[in-house]
Amino acid sequence: MPTLSEVARHAGVTPATVSNVLRNRGRVGATTRQRVLDAVEALGYRPHLAARALAEGRAPTLALMVSSIANPFYPEFALAVERAARTSGHFVIICNTNEDPLTGRAYLDQIAGTLSEGVLVTNANLDFVDLRATEARGTPVVLCMWERPAEPPGLPCVAVDFRLAGELAGQHLLELGHRRMGAIVGSKASGIHAARYEGFVDALRAAGVTKNRVRHAVDTIHGGYVAARAMLEADPQLTAIFSTNDLPALGAMHAAADLGLRVPDDLSVIGITDIELARESRPALTTVAVPTVEVAGLAVELLRELIESSYGQAGRGARDEPIPVPMRISSEPKLVVRASTAAPRPPAHTPSRSPSC
Amino acid sequence: MPTLSEVARHAGVTPATVSNVLRNRGRVGATTRQRVLDAVEALGYRPHLAARALAEGRAPTLALMVSSIANPFYPEFALAVERAARTSGHFVIICNTNEDPLTGRAYLDQIAGTLSEGVLVTNANLDFVDLRATEARGTPVVLCMWERPAEPPGLPCVAVDFRLAGELAGQHLLELGHRRMGAIVGSKASGIHAARYEGFVDALRAAGVTKNRVRHAVDTIHGGYVAARAMLEADPQLTAIFSTNDLPALGAMHAAADLGLRVPDDLSVIGITDIELARESRPALTTVAVPTVEVAGLAVELLRELIESSYGQAGRGARDEPIPVPMRISSEPKLVVRASTAAPRPPAHTPSRSPSC
């Protein structure tokens, strides 16, 4: 492949002039400009992205760290990120950490600041120490789905009010008349879904419902299946299950089916996120939709601003007054009512406790 | 970030020596080696992957071109590719073409040979002209899932006998006793799923079944839903539906549900691939499993060999005798019987055509 220098020689100009022409920078006369473009065409020169990136001290890709590419939410989110990134000519490197902070660190060490000029992080279970180290090396980091807008993480982020999402789910079930409910939390008690569950419990308390069953589960269809099945076997009188994510909610519907319960007649199920499978399941899943595409757009926009402003180098760790850590808040999650929720069936005649015999 | 030259200055050696130490190449005495490593640590130097790649005329990433990241098969395949690639220290850039050859060309132009040293192509609807151009520029290309081992594509590939997959699906339905069957083909008639459908038809013909319904559909759950619904409404006596892919098969099960048909009692459904959703649907989907992980491993292995051997530069388009285009063939697809197929229900008493009144 011909080099920039060869193009310059062929056109009888300096490499800097070639670069200016290709990047529409500097002042170059029309004749010289045409000579350069002719040389580019004659030699079949293609601007070398990596070389250009190096020359400018930056790389033209964004890295998207995801915790599990096999979880269908992440491809949907990656698609939205990619579309947003392509509008500024960025390519997206998807780095899949498989929930492993060490793999995440390896990606950050190898990719961030070399092949990519910025890092987008979904809930990838990454160590904040590693993320701050990446930032300190001059590569901006944006957390894409911070779950608690009221408690900023100390890193640039896009926040979604996930506590509200849980509250909306709880209110929906209450309005339908449910009082005996179970919750499947797709993380550890103190984990990333804690805010969602808090919102759910807040809604119940506000309505005077002070008790509900809860199980913590793996954030998959199968995880939800196992948790729902155990919960329904322990308490057959549950009339509704709230899940902090759509995948376990889908598993809860499978568990109901296997136990001979009809959704929504015998059991209502509601999730959070609104992944494509929520729309495509039978019955279609009622859920609280998160503005995924909007969040992707905000995250890419914020990351680009940080890259442009050299936030990483100048802001953090400098001795001057600290630059405030930016946080963008998405629009609010919204209830999407589909076919998996309904009013609870009126209780069957309860057998009398005092036998007549 | 400190440069290699600064490390060299700090250690009192040449940059070449630093490079040799970091790459375990050349002869460097133990004392010098330790001095270099001390300097690396003192300065916090990190080898600059992009710089090293440029210096060597190669980049440390592989590009994986997928036609639709939202199709759950591709994340599963990407995961397998990534695991295989990481064993050789490669990172994977996922390029999503959204079924658009022009987007594909843009990725090939921008990424191939600059940021990545090799390209893996799934069924990404890419123009072979563009792929050959990429190859001619010295960046090897491997097609990951070539559907017809008997008809090599003229590009390096991993082939899977998808005709056999269709045949196995047909044989399974025949063995259960089905004779009145429909087929959903997830591509145009001449499209990528043609071989799968041919295999199905071959199986039926071999058993003397010369007719079946067929519909071409979009390769999604919804596409399968629409096709199955139309087919079942046109011919309510169908007892089984074969789909060339799992996603439309899942849609066919939804269509059956909405028409009040039980799977498998009233309708058997079978797909091809064995994506995770096939295992997780209710009823679980019978399918012909494709060895996804094996194919990913073979594809990465072949691509690495081509990169090492400079296949792209030396082989194609040279005036010497042509190097044969390599093709690896995966192990055979295998039938996985789950809950969505069963013997057809014995026909209900058919109303007599000669009324007794």
Q: What is the pLDDT, as a whole number, of residue B159?
A: 97
**Of A149-153, B29-33, B113-117, where does mean pLDDT reach its minimum?**
B113-117
Q: What is the pLDDT, as a whole number, of residue A24?
A: 66
Q: What is the 3-state secondary structure (H, E, C) of A302-316?
A: HHHHHHHCCHHHHCC
Q: What is the pLDDT, as a whole number, of residue A44?
A: 74
Quick check: B315 pLDDT over 50?
no
Measured from the Cβ of residue B152, the count of other Cβ atoms closer than 10 Å reads 16
Contacts of A224 (CB under 8 A, 6+ apart): A184, A186, A217, A243, A247, A248, A249, A250, A251, A252, A255
Nearest chain B residue to A62 by CA: give it: B93
Please give the residue that has the higher pLDDT: either B287 or B111: B287
Mean pLDDT (whole number) for B322-350: 88
Query: How do residues A337-352 score in pLDDT, each as one tens digit?
Result: 999 999 998 866 554 4
Q: What is the pLDDT, as a whole number, of residue A335?
A: 98
- Any bridge partners for residue B141, and if so which? B119
Contacts of B310 (CB under 8 A, 6+ apart): B138
**Of A168-177, A250-259, A320-329, where does mean pLDDT reach its minimum?**
A320-329
Across the interface, which of A51, A221, A280 has its CB nearest the CB of B280? A221
Among residues B170, B172, B165, the alpha carbon closest in space to that of B193 is found at B165
Work out the minimum CA distance from B63 to partner chain A, whole angstroms.
9
The band of B24, judged by pLDDT with boundaries at 50, 70 and 90, is low
Q: What is the pLDDT, as a whole number, of residue B62?
A: 87
Question: What residues of chain A lie within 8 A of the CB of B91, using their CB?
Answer: 93, 95, 107, 110-111, 115
Strands (E), B153-304: 157-159, 181-185, 213-216, 240-243, 268-273, 286-289
Average pLDDT value for chain A: 86
The band of B316, judged by pLDDT with boundaries at 50, 70 and 90, is very low
Q: Give residue for tokens 């007054």.
A: A321
Enumerate domains of chain A plus CATH numbers.
Answer: 4-47 (1.10.260.40), 61-139+292-329 (3.40.50.2300), 162-290 (3.40.50.2300)
The torsion angles phi and psi of A177, rounded to 5 degrees, stand at 110, 5
Please give the residue that has the higher pLDDT: either A80 or B4: A80
**Of A91-105, A202-216, B62-76, where does mean pLDDT reach its minimum?**
A91-105
Predicted complex ipTM exceeds 0.85? no
d(CA A121, CA A142): 6
Which of B22, B43, B46, B49 has the highest number of chain A CBs within 10 A, making it the mutation to test binding with A?
B49
Please give the residue that has the higher pLDDT: either A61 or B121: B121
Quick check: A174 pLDDT over 70?
yes
d(CA A144, CA A212): 31
Contacts of B341 (CB under 8 A, 6+ apart): B172, B173, B176, B240, B264, B268, B269, B270, B286
Q: What is the pLDDT, as a whole number, of residue A169?
A: 98
Contact (CB<8Å) B49/A115: yes
Which of A87, A93, A225, A262 has the highest number of chain B CBs within 10 A, making it the mutation to test binding with B?
A93
B228: its two tokens: 């199955």
Q: What is the pLDDT, as a whole number, of residue A114?
A: 65
**Of A4-8, A152-156, B348-352, where does mean pLDDT reach its minimum?**
B348-352
Please give the residue that has the higher pLDDT: either B321 or B241: B241
Q: Which letter, b or e, does each residue of B24-59 get, where b requires 16 or more Cβ atoms within 10 Å of its Cβ? A: eeeebeeebbebbeebbeebebebbbbebbbeeebb
Tell me what percent of the residues of chain A surpass a pLDDT of 90.
54
Please give the residue that has the higher pLDDT: either A299 or B91: A299
d(CA B283, CA A171): 32
**Of A197-206, B127-136, B303-312, where does mean pLDDT reach its minimum?**
B303-312
The band of B54, judged by pLDDT with boundaries at 50, 70 and 90, is very low
Which of B45, B218, B258, B280 has the highest number of chain A CBs within 10 A, making it the mutation to test binding with A?
B280
| Alpha helices by DSSP H, B181-291 | 194-206, 221-234, 246-258, 276-280
d(CA B250, CA B222): 9
A197: its two tokens: 């569950």
Quick check: B193 pLDDT over 80?
yes
Q: What is the pLDDT, as a whole number, of residue B43?
A: 81
Q: What is the pLDDT, as a whole number, of residue B296?
A: 97
Please give the residue that has the higher pLDDT: either B329 or A282: B329
Mean pLDDT (whole number) for B326-350: 90
Q: What is the pLDDT, as a whole number, of residue B353?
A: 46
Measured from the Cβ of residue B354, the count of other Cβ atoms closer than 10 Å reads 4
Question: What residues of chain B lie within 8 A of the CB of A72, using their CB?
Answer: 72, 75
Please give the residue that has the higher pLDDT: either B162 or A52: B162
Across the interface, which of A46, A53, A253 has its CB nearest the CB of B109? A46
Q: What is the pLDDT, as a whole number, of residue A311?
A: 65
Which of B100, B115, B275 has the highest number of chain A CBs within 10 A, making it the mutation to test binding with A?
B115
- N residues, chain B: 357
The band of A317, judged by pLDDT with boundaries at 50, 70 and 90, is very low
Quick check: B44 pLDDT over 80?
no
A56: its two tokens: 């400018």
Contact (CB<8Å) B72/A75: yes
**Of A18-32, A128-142, B279-293, where does mean pLDDT reach its minimum?**
A18-32
Q: What is the pLDDT, as a whole number, of residue A318?
A: 45
Across the interface, which of A79, A93, A282 has its CB nearest the CB of B96? A79
Work out the minimum CA distance from B242 to partner chain A, whole angstroms.
20
Distances (CA, A) of B232 to A240, B253, B267: 34, 11, 10
Please give the residue that has the higher pLDDT: either A131 or A320: A131
Average pLDDT value for chain B: 86
Work out the minimum CA distance from A82 to partner chain B, whole angstroms.
8
Mean pLDDT (whole number) for A33-55: 71
Tell me how many residue pairs between chain A and chain B have CB atoms under 8 A apart: 114
Quick check: B256 pLDDT over 90?
yes
Sheet-wide strand order for B116-121: B91-96, B61-66, B116-121, B141-146, B157-159, B327-329
Q: What is the pLDDT, as a whole number, of residue B318?
A: 46
Quick check: A324 pLDDT over 80?
yes
The answer to whether B72 touches A72, Cβ cutoff 8 Å, is: yes
Helix (H) or strand (E) holding A297: helix A292-308
Q: What is the pLDDT, as a whole number, of residue A345?
A: 87
Tell me what percent of the residues of chain B surpass a pLDDT of 70.
85
**Which stretch, A257-261, B102-106, B352-356, has highest mean pLDDT?**
A257-261
Q: What is the pLDDT, as a whole number, of residue B101?
A: 77
Contact (CB<8Å) B137/A1: yes
- Any bridge partners for residue B327, and if so which? B157
Contacts of A112 (CB under 8 A, 6+ apart): A63, A119, A134, A137, A139, A141
Mean pLDDT (whole number) for A267-276: 97
Contact (CB<8Å) B91/A107: yes
The band of A1, judged by pLDDT with boundaries at 50, 70 and 90, is low
Quick check: B310 pLDDT over 90?
no
Quick check: A355 pLDDT over 50?
no
A102: its two tokens: 């060490």
